[in-house]
């Protein structure tokens, strides 16, 4: 009797301790989403992909700092009071608080986004066959595009002035995989090659993007958005990749490639329809102020109207609101009320007691059902492709023609083919990209050192074109 | 047939008869056995016993067995009177209880442990077990919590033989536990510090501290910080008996450390520091300031000198009543206990009521023994509506005390910034509350089965289910809501925590002595544990004035906030083997091996092995020592082993995603982003311990004690580190560096008077603990952590070659007599006025050179008198009172009361040799060695006097068998070489208590 009992017990011991343990210890927490659970089904992968887009709308990135506020302030867009939170940005005092924290937040936000992209790509490899090959290819393409765009914007902020001999100087690290160790700072000319390679890979992945056949496919109001066949202009679509290529090539000084990419977009311009004078001039309550129909790529920031209230709302005090000096603004738009961008988005407010025009581009509309364009911040629009084409096109007449296409669609008159194309382009960049951050990059790319001082009615200031690496990064660098 | 002889007898314990004792009579010739048990009068009888020589064995649970021999003759009546001696079951001096079911024989075990009885601890203080343990064991270090003082609702910070992980707030595990806290075991199962603190001391049978690898290896991955094993008193069989205890105590706030100015001093200080000189140069403003000064001066002259400190304090009265009933016979033993403790703290309105009940049942039959203990316990805690004590310490003495107005004064500073001085008494008069309520049910079941006398199987199962609700409310009128929008004034927070856990284990024990010389014990044990903790909370804001905090009247939830919820499930599975071998009780050998698996380890290292081995030598058992009268016991031992510390987050091995906050979505819906990147190769923290010791008892047990030395090295440490921001990885758990402790503990007791037989003993004893600690192997991996520490103005840094207890600050030469500015020493030895974080260095260490307790205990018949004085010598402290209340007084801080030294000891004019900067300087003073002081203290930790009545006539009349009364004071005095403020948010308290224990 004794021995069998003992043996059974010993066997139980062995069983309980060796075989069942691994399974027993494998606990799935309910209040967190573990990688394995997330990437084991399509919904999970969709959430992870959408998470990449949502992190782009973070306040530190395209949700505010890279579009609405900090980067535009670096381009002297606004008249910043000395007691304003962002005064140190307007004066390029990069070592002072709070701009030093903003710089850190932009840098950290971008690279956290990049980590998420790398983990997303890594996990698509690690958990294969959950989604079909076609979807997989498009998702990867989108992710690669996001990685390239984030790196490129960090390069434009923290890298040297590229159009000079400085392009060989150290710029940013490039992360193509998840790493817990630091990557070296690449020379700017090497970093840009990484961006171009990622964009080329993304282009390849996205060659079957439904946008090519069907356009942006904005769903009817009330219809749910599909990850492949809806609102492609809110996704890193095939054309967004091409548009970014145009932007990157031009930044690199490769006008031939930039022109080729821009021309592809211009050929497909019917997919990104110009806004109408009806929308810009006649629609009083619910205009599409950001021209989402022209948008090749944009983000939807559910926090946008809170950001508007904090930055541009006319009820803000004079020393808090972001608004240009009236005369500077008038100069930019050449006091031309016909300009859609001026007429629609710059008005002297009826409330708040302001005597100057304030910025309405990101104000909410009355009808909250306008989900097709509410909450939108554009990142690339078709107009920029015409600008790039105009800048790269060797033939002066054709170049001015590209520019005039945009002007006509902004309610302006055609320019003569004899105008100085660069002067006119600079004016256009100043008008077109309010609240989109592109002007700072334009000045930097064109190697313009002194720019009009936003805090005085006349005169210029020297632009601080290169942001310093934040301490959270530089302390690890020799 | 001759009449069989009858054998009768009575079994007693002293004067009380024992019910249910077993008497086995064995005929020496025939080996035939007969068994009888005692009846309710303690009488047993064998009616028919064949004549012959018999061996009578009398056994009873809780008593030492007794063997008697008798010659039973035909026709005669044989009668036995047996007096059983109570065995030392409440505290078996020869057995080390490890809490795992595996018991170790103290004489043959090679590890370092210490065991104390419940009575011993109770005598030192009636507060809780933890407070008393620190007095008796030098390795059990309790840290002073300068913020929380003697707040009864704040848990103490404890370490046994130093730290085994980097002390970082982000490293706290899901329970919010201190990662360096020892493991607590109550009646064989893991428990929380909170349960131990609330445990009724009258129920404590014994407490064992397991210190080194050999003694803790049985706990494997949880063992590195030491293990504290608590056993409650097991009920004893017999007639129904009651015991009743009542402890009353008084907590008196110790305000002697606060060195605040009086009204005249304060006003003079304000004048000197330039509060009344306007900086904008406007004559009208200066006029206003002059008027303000004159108003204050008038108040001072009127005799206004408010001492705000005594308003929120009270003499906190507490009462602990507990009753225990026990009884039963050999096969069924029962014990039922009830306890209620009502404790008021030293701050008005703060307190903690705790209660518990337990039912302990044991059933024995033949080889089976089943024990079940059911505990039901709960507490309700209340924080003082007076809020932080610092509000009162810092209140200005020239204001009249009143509670009517929200503000004591509404004026301007010299920079013409509006200054509203909040009235702490007004805030205290509002219906604020902060309460917690808890209920927990626990059941421990264990089953023993003895296959043979050598082989035993034991199975245990524990389940715990608990619930805690915390509610807090800040009234809308509170001055903290001064600038809050009207619809968000007032705040109510509700959080519900619930916990559920189970543990099951199976243990096989084998023990045998071969050839009378080879003693072998072996154990095999398997265990699984599961614990689930969940929290849910929400916040409501916007209360109407006059609201008493019912959330129904809230305007809404906190804007843009979601309810919080978390649920953690944590599991472990382990298998243990342990063996002990003793040769002739002289040469000893121990070995333990444990394989531990848990959800906490890295995915690629799910199981982790732990082991220990030790050797020992009982010198007193050697033939050359055996007959030496002066040598009673002398044991030398040494051991080595590896244990773990898994007190860190559970899912550090896997990447975790989280949904974007509730305000972020787009037309495609919500999205997830990475919230933490997993490190699948993370190695658990492992601690190698080498420990050696000498236990001695000499000169007829007059000189007793031990010497222990240890080396404890945790390698690798797990440290959450922010990597370079371009990696995007933050708070990444990394294996980095190691931490080494080297230390020694001594306990020596000598009895100048030693007559235990007459119960007259006087013993003097000394304990001491010394240790040194050092980090190594970090290289530059923790640069980000050090940077954070610098930004957070922390005194702690992580550098190779330095101790976790080092104080990092700028080295200061003091105040330049010519300018009144501070002179620093740069890292290259140059003198400079400039503060530079690059020049920070370790300027002190908080570890004392030695810390321990001096004790004198006198036992004279029923009297006992104990004096326990704690000494602490050589540790440095950063004097925050000097830093915050003598210097670093900002413009708005000038309106708060400050330390007297801010007026008297600061530099005033060129040539002054002063300790502190010029009085007019309100700019920030960096942390420097000027504020680091060497502290030596002597504390009256515990003084007690007691008397035990036994078997007095008057007692018998009321059916009482024993009565013990005891008076204790704790922390009655404290002498320190450093004058500093102790108790920032809650004052420290002195305790006086009386306790009474009666048995019926």
What interface predicted TM-score (ipTM) does this complex get?
0.86
A-B CB pairs within 8 A amount to 203
- Does residue A31 carry a pLDDT above 80? no
A181 contacts in chain B (CB < 8 Å): 723, 727
- Does residue A16 carry a pLDDT above 70? no
Other CB atoms closer than 10 Å to residue A268's CB: what's the count? 18
What mean pLDDT is predicted for residues A43-68? 94
Other CB atoms closer than 10 Å to residue B47's CB: what's the count? 11
- Assigned domain for A146 exists: yes
Asked whether the beta carbons of residue B606 and residue A25 sit closer than 8 angstroms, the reply is yes
A200 near B CB under 8 A: no
Tokens representing residue B431 in the block: 């219906």
| CB-based contact B757:B719 (threshold 8 Å) | no
B928 in helix, strand or coil?
Answer: strand
φ and ψ of A107, to 5 deg: -60, -50
| CB-based contact B733:B718 (threshold 8 Å) | yes
In terms of pLDDT, which residue wins out, B439 or B915? B439
A366 near B CB under 8 A: no
- How far A32 CA lies from chain B's nearest CA (Å)? 6
Band of the pLDDT at B77, cuts 50, 70, 90? low
Asked whether the beta carbons of residue A175 and residue B728 sit closer than 8 angstroms, the reply is yes
Closest in B451, B575, B663 to A17, CB measured:
B575
The per-residue b/e assignment along A161-171, b for 16 or more CB within 10 angstroms, e otherwise, is: bbeeebbebbb
Q: pLDDT digit string (tens) for B216-273?
A: 888 877 888 899 999 888 888 888 888 899 999 998 998 888 889 999 999 998 888 8
Closest in B658, B670, B726 to A111, CB measured:
B726
> CA–CA distance from A306 to each of A42, B147, B284, B539, B870 (Å)?
33, 39, 43, 22, 60
- How far B498 CA lies from chain A's nearest CA (Å)? 15
What mean pLDDT is predicted for residues A146-153? 97
**pLDDT at residue number A473:** 87
Asked whether the beta carbons of residue A300 and residue B667 sit closer than 8 angstroms, the reply is yes
A474 in helix, strand or coil?
Answer: helix
Cα–Cα distance measured from residue B914 to residue B922, given in angstroms and rounded to the nearest whole number? 17
Tokens representing residue B23 in the block: 């008497």
**pLDDT at residue number B1:** 39
Asked whether the beta carbons of residue A182 and residue B727 sit closer than 8 angstroms, the reply is yes
- Does residue B385 carry a pLDDT above 80? yes
Tokens representing residue A290 in the block: 């950001």
What mean pLDDT is predicted for residues B358-363? 92
Q: pLDDT digit string (tens) for B817-828?
A: 888 788 888 888
Domain boundaries, chain B: 6-83, 95-235
Asked whether the beta carbons of residue B526 and residue A17 sit closer than 8 angstroms, the reply is yes
φ and ψ of A250, to 5 deg: -65, -40
A19 near B CB under 8 A: no
Number of residues in chain B: 1000
Q: What is the mean pLDDT of chain B?
A: 84
Bridge-based pairing of strands B656-659 and B52-59 is: unpaired
- How far B441 CA lies from chain A's nearest CA (Å)? 24
Q: pLDDT digit string (tens) for B393-426?
A: 989 899 998 888 888 888 877 777 778 888 999 9
Other CB atoms closer than 10 Å to residue B768's CB: what's the count? 18
A178 near B CB under 8 A: yes
Cα–Cα distance measured from residue B625 to residue A432, given in angstroms and rounded to the nearest whole number? 100
CA angle in degrees (0–180, nearest 5) for B619-B625-B629: 120
- Assigned domain for A24 exists: no
B577 contacts in chain A (CB < 8 Å): none
Closest in A116, A219, A300 to B674, CB measured:
A116
The CATH architecture annotation of domain B6-83 reads Sandwich (2.60)
Asked whether the beta carbons of residue A115 and residue B571 sit closer than 8 angstroms, the reply is no
**pLDDT at residue number B55:** 82
- Assigned domain for A163 exists: yes
Asked whether the beta carbons of residue A25 and residue B573 sit closer than 8 angstroms, the reply is yes
Per the DSSP assignment, residues forming a β-bridge with B206 are B117, B231
- Assigned domain for A4 exists: no
Residues 404-463 of A with CB under 8 A from B: none
What mean pLDDT is predicted for residues B794-800? 85
Asked whether the beta carbons of residue A476 and residue B575 sit closer than 8 angstroms, the reply is no
Q: pLDDT digit string (tens) for A93-126?
A: 998 878 989 999 999 999 999 999 999 999 999 9
**pLDDT at residue number B173:** 42
What mean pLDDT is predicted for residues A210-218? 92
What mean pLDDT is predicted for residues B847-876? 91
How far from chain centre, in Å, is Cα A85? 23
| CB-based contact B722:B785 (threshold 8 Å) | yes
Q: What is the mean pLDDT of chain A?
A: 91
Q: pLDDT digit string (tens) for B676-708?
A: 888 877 777 888 999 999 999 898 889 999 999
Cα–Cα distance measured from residue B289 to residue B295, given in angstroms and rounded to the nearest whole number? 10
**pLDDT at residue number B128:** 85
- Looking at B191-200, B459-468, B781-790, B975-984, which range is the least confident one? B781-790
The per-residue b/e assignment along B674-695, b for 16 or more CB within 10 angstroms, e otherwise, is: bebbbbeebbbbbbbbbbbbeb
Asked whether the beta carbons of residue A182 and residue B732 sit closer than 8 angstroms, the reply is no
How far from chain centre, in Å, is Cα B345? 18
- Does residue B215 carry a pLDDT above 90? no
What mean pLDDT is predicted for residues A178-184? 84
CATH 2.170.130.10 is right for the domain spanning B95-235? yes
* CATH code of A257's domain: 1.25.40.390
A24 contacts in chain B (CB < 8 Å): 528, 571, 573
**Total structural domains within chain A:** 1
Q: Which of B677-681, B706-710, B796-800, B963-967 has the highest mean pLDDT?
A: B706-710
Cα–Cα distance measured from residue B936 to residue B948, given in angstroms and rounded to the nearest whole number? 37
Q: Is B75 exposed, middle or buried (0-12, 13-18, 19+ CB in 10 A)?
A: exposed
Cα–Cα distance measured from residue B357 to residue B351, given in angstroms and rounded to the nearest whole number? 20
- Does residue B93 carry a pLDDT above 80? no
Of the candidates B499, B574, B595, B578, the residue with the CA atom closest to the CA atom of residue B529: B574
Closest in B508, B571, B673 to A25, CB measured:
B571
Residues 90-109 of A with CB under 8 A from B: 104, 107-108
- How far A446 CA lies from chain B's nearest CA (Å)? 27
**pLDDT at residue number A165:** 85
H or E, element range at A295: strand A295-300
- Does residue B180 carry a pLDDT above 80? yes
Q: pLDDT digit string (tens) for B879-909?
A: 888 888 888 777 667 778 888 888 888 887 8
**pLDDT at residue number A289:** 93
- Assigned domain for A169 exists: yes
Q: pLDDT digit string (tens) for B572-631?
A: 888 889 888 888 888 889 898 988 887 766 566 678 888 999 999 988 888 888 778 888
Residue A214, sorted as left (phi over 0), alpha (psi -120 to 50) or beta, turns out to be alpha
Band of the pLDDT at B62, cuts 50, 70, 90? low
Of the candidates A273, A210, A38, the residue with the CA atom closest to the CA atom of residue B673: A38
Closest in B655, B725, B787 to A119, CB measured:
B655
Closest in B595, B660, B724 to A476, CB measured:
B724
**pLDDT at residue number A172:** 95
Q: pLDDT digit string (tens) for B619-643?
A: 888 888 877 888 888 999 999 999 8
In terms of pLDDT, which residue wins out, B917 or B693? B693
- Does residue A20 carry a pLDDT above 80? no
Mutate to test the interface with B, among A51, A109, A158, A309 (most CBs of B within 10 A): A51
- How far B565 CA lies from chain A's nearest CA (Å)? 7
- Does residue B520 carry a pLDDT above 80? yes
| CB-based contact B576:B218 (threshold 8 Å) | yes
Cα–Cα distance measured from residue B251 to residue B237, given in angstroms and rounded to the nearest whole number? 38
Other CB atoms closer than 10 Å to residue A158's CB: what's the count? 24
Q: Which residue in chain A has the smallest CA separation from B730?
A: A112
A6 near B CB under 8 A: yes
In terms of pLDDT, which residue wins out, B90 or B555? B555
**pLDDT at residue number B178:** 75
A174 contacts in chain B (CB < 8 Å): none
Bridge-based pairing of strands B183-186 and B227-232 is: parallel
Give me the residue label for tokens 């990419």.
Answer: A261
A220 near B CB under 8 A: no
Band of the pLDDT at A73, cuts 50, 70, 90? very high
Q: Which range of residues forms the domain containing residue A443?
A: 42-473
Band of the pLDDT at B156, cuts 50, 70, 90? confident
Band of the pLDDT at B285, cuts 50, 70, 90? confident
């Amino acid at each position: 009797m004794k021995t069998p009992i003992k043996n059974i017990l010993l066997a139980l011991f062995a069983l309980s301790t060796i075989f069942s343990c691994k399974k027993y210890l494998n606990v799935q927490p309910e209040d967190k989403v573990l990688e394995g659970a997330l990437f084991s089904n399509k919904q999970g992968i969709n959430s992870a992909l959408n998470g990449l887009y949502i992190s782009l709308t973070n306040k530190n990135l395209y949700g505010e700092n890279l579009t609405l506020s900090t980067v535009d302030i670096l381009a002297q867009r606004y008249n910043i009071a000395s007691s304003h939170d962002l005064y140190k940005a307007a004066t390029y005092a990069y070592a002072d608080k709070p701009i030093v924290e903003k710089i850190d937040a932009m840098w950290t936000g971008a690279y956290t986004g990049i980590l998420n992209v790398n983990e997303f790509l890594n996990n698509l490899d690690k958990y294969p066959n959950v989604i079909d090959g076609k979807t997989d290819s498009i998702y990867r393409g989108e992710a690669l595009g996001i990685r390239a765009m984030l790196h490129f914007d960090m390069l434009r902020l923290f890298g040297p002035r590229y159009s000079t001999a400085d392009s060989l100087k150290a710029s940013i690290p490039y992360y193509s995989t998840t790493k817990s160790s630091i990557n070296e700072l690449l020379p700017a000319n090497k970093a840009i090659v990484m961006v171009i390679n990622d964009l080329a890979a993304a282009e390849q992945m996205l060659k079957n993007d439904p946008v090519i056949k069907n356009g942006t496919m904005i769903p009817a109001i009330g219809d749910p958005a599909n990850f492949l066949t809806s609102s492609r202009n809110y996704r890193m679509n095939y054309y967004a990749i091409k548009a970014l290529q145009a932007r990157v090539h031009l930044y690199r000084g490769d006008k031939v490639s930039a022109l080729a990419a821009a021309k592809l977009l211009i050929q497909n311009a019917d997919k990104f329809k110009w806004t109408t004078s009806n929308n810009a001039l006649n629609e009083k309550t619910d205009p599409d102020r950001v021209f989402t129909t022209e948008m090749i790529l944009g983000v939807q920031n559910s926090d946008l109207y809170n950001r508007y209230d904090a930055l541009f709302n006319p009820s803000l005090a004079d020393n808090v609101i972001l608004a240009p000096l009236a005369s500077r603004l008038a100069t930019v738009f050449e006091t031309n009320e016909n300009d859609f961008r001026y007429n629609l988005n710059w008005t002297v407010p009826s409330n708040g007691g302001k005597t100057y025009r304030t910025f309405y581009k990101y104000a909410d509309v009355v009808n909250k059902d306008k989900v097709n364009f509410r909450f939108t911040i554009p990142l690339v629009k078709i107009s920029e492709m015409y600008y790039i084409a105009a800048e790269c096109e060797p033939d002066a007449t054709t170049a001015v023609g590209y520019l005039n296409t945009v002007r006509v669609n902004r309610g302006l008159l055609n320019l003569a083919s004899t105008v100085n194309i660069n002067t006119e382009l600079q004016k256009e960049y100043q008008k077109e990209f309010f609240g989109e951050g592109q002007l700072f990059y334009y000045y930097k790319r064109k190697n313009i050192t002194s720019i009009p001082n936003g805090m005085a009615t006349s005169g210029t200031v020297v632009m601080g074109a290169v942001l310093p690496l934040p301490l959270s990064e530089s302390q690890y660098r020799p | 047939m001759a009449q069989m002889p009858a054998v009768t007898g009575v079994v007693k314990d002293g004067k009380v008869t024992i019910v249910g004792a077993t008497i086995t009579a064995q005929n020496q010739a025939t080996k035939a056995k007969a068994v009888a048990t005692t009846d309710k009068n303690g009488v047993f009888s064998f009616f028919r016993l064949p004549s012959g020589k018999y061996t009578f064995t009398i056994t009873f649970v809780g008593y030492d067995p007794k063997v008697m021999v008798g010659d039973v003759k035909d026709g005669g009546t044989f009668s036995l009177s047996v007096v059983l001696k109570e065995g030392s079951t409440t505290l078996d001096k020869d057995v080390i209880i490890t809490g795992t079911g595996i018991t170790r024989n103290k004489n043959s075990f090679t590890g370092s442990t210490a065991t104390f009885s419940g009575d011993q601890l109770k005598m030192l203080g009636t507060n809780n077990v933890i407070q008393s343990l620190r007095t008796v064991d030098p390795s059990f270090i309790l840290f002073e919590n300068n913020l929380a003082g003697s707040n009864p609702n704040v848990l103490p910070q404890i370490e046994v033989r130093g730290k085994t992980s980097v002390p970082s707030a982000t490293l706290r595990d899901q329970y919010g536990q201190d990662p360096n806290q020892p493991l607590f075991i109550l009646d064989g199962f893991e428990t929380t510090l909170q349960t131990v603190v609330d445990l009724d001391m009258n129920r404590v049978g014994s407490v064992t501290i397991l210190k080194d690898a050999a003694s803790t290896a049985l706990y494997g991955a949880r063992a590195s910080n030491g293990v504290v094993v608590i056993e409650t008193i097991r009920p004893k069989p017999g007639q129904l008996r009651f015991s009743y205890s009542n402890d009353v105590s008084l907590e008196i706030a110790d305000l002697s450390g606060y060195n605040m100015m009086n009204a005249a001093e304060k006003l003079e200080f304000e004048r000197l520091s330039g509060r009344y000189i306007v900086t904008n140069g406007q004559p009208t403003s200066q006029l206003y300031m002059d008027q303000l000064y004159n108003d204050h001066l008038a108040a001072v002259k009127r005799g206004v000198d408010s001492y705000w400190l005594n308003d929120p304090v009270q003499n906190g009265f507490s009462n602990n009543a507990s009753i225990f009933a026990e009884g039963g016979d050999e096969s069924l033993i029962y014990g039922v206990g009830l306890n209620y403790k009502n404790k008021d703290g030293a701050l008005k309105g703060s307190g903690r009521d705790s209660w518990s009940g337990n039912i302990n049942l044991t059933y024995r039959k033949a080889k089976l023994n089943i024990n079940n203990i059911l505990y039901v316990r709960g507490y309700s805690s209340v924080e003082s509506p007076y809020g932080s004590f610092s509000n009162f310490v810092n209140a200005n003495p020239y204001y009249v005390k009143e509670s009517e107005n929200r503000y004591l004064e509404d004026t301007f500073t010299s920079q013409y910034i509006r200054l509203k001085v909040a009235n702490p008494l007004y805030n205290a008069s509002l219906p604020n509350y902060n309460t917690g309520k808890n209920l927990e049910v626990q059941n421990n079941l264990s089953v023993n089965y003895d296959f043979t006398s050598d082989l035993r199987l034991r199975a245990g199962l524990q389940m715990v289910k608990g619930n805690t609700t915390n509610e807090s409310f800040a009234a809308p009128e509170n001055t903290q809501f001064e600038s809050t929008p009207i619809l968000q004034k007032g705040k109510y927070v509700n959080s519900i925590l619930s916990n559920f856990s189970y543990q099951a284990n199976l243990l096989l024990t084998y023990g045998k002595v071969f050839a009378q010389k080879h003693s072998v014990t072996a154990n095999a044990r398997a265990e699984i544990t599961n614990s689930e903790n969940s929290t849910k909370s929400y916040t409501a804001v916007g209360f109407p004035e006059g609201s008493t905090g019912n959330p129904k009247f809230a305007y809404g939830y906190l804007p843009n906030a979601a309810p919080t919820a978390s649920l953690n499930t944590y599991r472990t599975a382990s298998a243990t083997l342990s063996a002990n071998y003793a040769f002739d009780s002289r040469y000893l050998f121990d070995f333990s091996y444990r394989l531990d698996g848990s959800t906490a380890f890295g995915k690629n290292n799910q199981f982790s092995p732990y082991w220990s081995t030790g050797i020992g030598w009982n010198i007193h058992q050697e033939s050359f020592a055996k007959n030496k009268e002066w040598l009673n016991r002398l044991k030398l031992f040494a051991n080595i082993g590896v244990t773990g510390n898994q007190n860190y987050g559970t899912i550090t091995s896997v990447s975790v995603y989280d949904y974007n906050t509730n305000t972020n979505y787009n037309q495609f819906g919500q999205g997830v982003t990475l919230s933490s990147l997993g490190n699948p190769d993370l190695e658990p923290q492992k601690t190698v311990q080498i420990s050696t010791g000498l236990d001695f008892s000499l000169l007829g047990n007059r000189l007793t004690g031990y010497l222990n030395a240890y080396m404890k090295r945790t390698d690798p440490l797990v440290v959450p580190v922010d990597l370079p921001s371009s990696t995007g990885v933050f708070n990444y758990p990394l294996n980095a560096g190691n931490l080494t402790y080297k230390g020694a503990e001594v306990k020596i007791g000598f009895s100048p008077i030693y007559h235990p037989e007459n119960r007259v003993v006087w013993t003097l004893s000394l304990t001491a603990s010394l240790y040194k600690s050092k980090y190594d192997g970090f290289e530059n991996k923790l640069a980000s952590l050090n940077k954070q520490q610098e930004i957070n103005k922390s005194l702690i840094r992580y550098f190779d070659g330095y101790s976790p207890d080092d104080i990092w600050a700028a080295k200061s030469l003091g105040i330049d007599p010519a300018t009144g500015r501070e002179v620093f020493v740069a890292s290259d030895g140059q003198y400079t006025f400039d503060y530079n974080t690059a020049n920070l260095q370790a300027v002190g260490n908080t570890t004392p050179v030695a810390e321990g307790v001096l004790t004198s205990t006198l036992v004279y018949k029923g009297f006992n008198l104990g004096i326990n004085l704690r000494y602490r010598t050589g540790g440095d402290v950063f004097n925050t009172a000097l830093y915050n209340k003598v210097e670093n007084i900002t413009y708005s801080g000038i309106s708060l009361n400050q330390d007297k030294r801010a007026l008297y000891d600061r530099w005033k004019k060129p040539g002054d040799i002063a300790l502190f900067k010029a009085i007019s300087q309100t700019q920030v003073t960096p942390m420097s060695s000027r504020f680091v002081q060497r502290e030596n203290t002597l504390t009256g930790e515990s003084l007690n006097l007691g008397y035990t009545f036994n078997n007095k006539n008057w007692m018998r009349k009321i059916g009482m068998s024993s009565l013990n009364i005891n008076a204790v004071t704790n922390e009655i005095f404290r002498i320190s070489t450093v004058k500093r403020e102790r108790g920032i948010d809650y004052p420290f308290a002195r305790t006086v208590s009386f306790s009474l224990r009666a048995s019926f």
